[in-house]
Amino acid sequence: MKAHLIKRFEGEIAVLDRELVHDLPKEIQRARELGDLRENAEYSAAKERQRFVESRISMLRKRLSELQLLNMDKISTDRAGFGSKVTVIENGTQMVFELVMPEDADPDKGLISVASPIGRAMVGREEGDSIKVSIPAGSRNFDIVKLVTIHDEE
């Protein structure tokens, strides 16, 4: 899992770096050639994208550095924690959640932040546990039917 995340971050950095070094300068140059930069939407959009890409690369490099220093010995081998894939049943529907850092969260893809209400409720739990989670829209009830920790995927 740790190696998978490192590879994923390195891949995204490479794609963004190429965009930053090769693609965006060409877009900015093309937009400059269109004339007055104060009213040039293409130029503004390209500069905005450039700032976003620089920021994303910086965040990914920081996250990569933190991940490489992650002490795997401190992450539980039998309870849910960062990097765990938790299979749950809620009202007869089976779902799989992966517990990730807040900036990597994407609930639509099953990537749940360890800092979110559902993530916090799952951390430290094990197969067979039932969880009731209070969320802004009410509450949700989950039964953990399978747990794969970050150690199991290495």
What is the reported pLDDT for 48? 93
CATH topology of domain 2-70: Helix Hairpins (1.10.287)
Residue 128 DSSP symbol: T
Q: Which amino acid is at 13?
A: I
Per the CB < 8 A criterion, the answer to whether 114 and 98 are in contact is no
- 48-92 pLDDT, tens per residue? 999 999 999 998 888 888 776 665 656 656 788 888 899 999 999
| CATH hierarchy code of domain 74-153 | 3.10.50.30
Return the ∠ at Cα 93 (arms to 81 and 109), rounded to 5°: 55
Note the pLDDT of residue 154: 45
Residue 148 to residues 78, 86, 98, 118: CA-CA distances in angstroms? 8, 7, 9, 17
Record the pTM.
0.58
Q: What is the pLDDT of residue 121?
A: 92
Residue-level pLDDT, tens digit, the chain, 154 residues? 566 777 888 899 999 999 999 999 998 888 888 777 677 788 888 999 999 999 999 988 888 887 766 656 566 567 888 888 999 999 999 999 999 888 788 989 999 998 899 999 999 999 999 999 988 888 999 999 999 887 665 4
74-153 has the same fold as 2-70: no
Spatial separation of the C-alpha atoms in residues 8 and 3, rounded to whole Å: 9
Q: Where are the domains of the chain?
A: 2-70, 74-153
Under DSSP, the state recorded for 102 is G
